[in-house]
Every structure is written in structure tokens, then in C-alpha cells.
Amino acid sequence: GENVEQHPSTLSVQEGDSAVIKCTYSDSASNYFPWYKQELGKRPQLIIDIRSNVGEKKDQRIAVTLNKTAKHFSLHITETQPEDSAVYFCAASRYGGSQGNLIFGKGTKLSVKP
């Protein structure tokens, strides 16, 4: 089955700096790669996602890149702010047909220091 590795497990940056979180996946058939943000005591919420037919996607200060050949994808946050502090999870899945699993990495705790 699918296995998702995520690095680093913790990341501390100064406000205004950039943060990069990297994930690798094992199942070459995976075609959907979402990123979730979880604030303390709350449920995970989607911040950005990318499908395998796209190499990069941006949404304001957040971007995700995908390298299908190497089977890795990354989250980039620019101009970090204290409210970006949270745990971030990457995930991989196959959509279409009868495939329905959604496998997560172990998470990255991001701390943004003012």
C-alpha cells in the first residue's frame, strides 16, 4: 500500500522567512496530493492540493510542487506569519474507480517566531 514520508518533523523560522516541507510517496499510481493545516485542538483543514497532471500550484503565500518521476512533493510558505504556526500534514491518494484511501505523512510542527 501507499506510504508517505514527511520531513522535517519540526521547523522553526523567523517571521517573514520562508518555510519548506517535503514529502515522498511510494505508490506511483497516486494522483492526488493535498496539504492540511491543523491548529492546536482543531480538526485538519485543507490549505492546498495538487493533482498529478500539474507540476506546481500557487495560492497567495502558499505553493506546492510535484515531481512525479522522483515521487516527491513540497509545500512552500513565503513571508511566514505567526498565524502560520500549526502542524502541517501532506497526504497522497488515488481517485477514480474504486480506490478511496487517503494516506497521511506524520506531520510537521511549524513554529513562526515574531
Partner 1 sequence: NAGVTQTPKFQVLKTGQSMTLQCAQDMNHNSMYWYRQDPGMGLRLIYYSASEGTTDKGEVPNGYNVSRLNKREFSLRLESAAPSQTSVYFCASSGQLDGTEAFFGQGTRLTVV
Contact residues for partner 1, defined by CB under 8 A: 1, 6, 9, 31-32, 34, 43-46, 49, 51, 89, 93, 95-107
Closest C-alpha among 53, 50, 54 to residue 62: 50
The sign of the torsion formed by the CA atoms of 13, 74, 105, 4 equals negative
Question: Smallest distance, Å, CB 62 to partner 1?
Answer: 15
Nearer to partner 1, 31 or 79 (CB): 31
Q: Which is nearer to partner 1, 14 or 60 (CB)?
A: 60
Least spacing, CB of residue 70 vs partner 1, in Å: 21
Instruction: Of 80, 59, 103, give the one whose Cα is nearest residue 15.
Output: 80
- At closest approach, how far in Å is the CB of 85 from partner 1? 17
Helix intervals (H) in the chain: none
The count of other CB atoms within 10 Å of the CB of residue 79 is 11
> Which residues is 109 bridged to in the sheet?
10, 87
Q: How far is the CB of 43 from partner 1 (least distance, A)?
A: 4
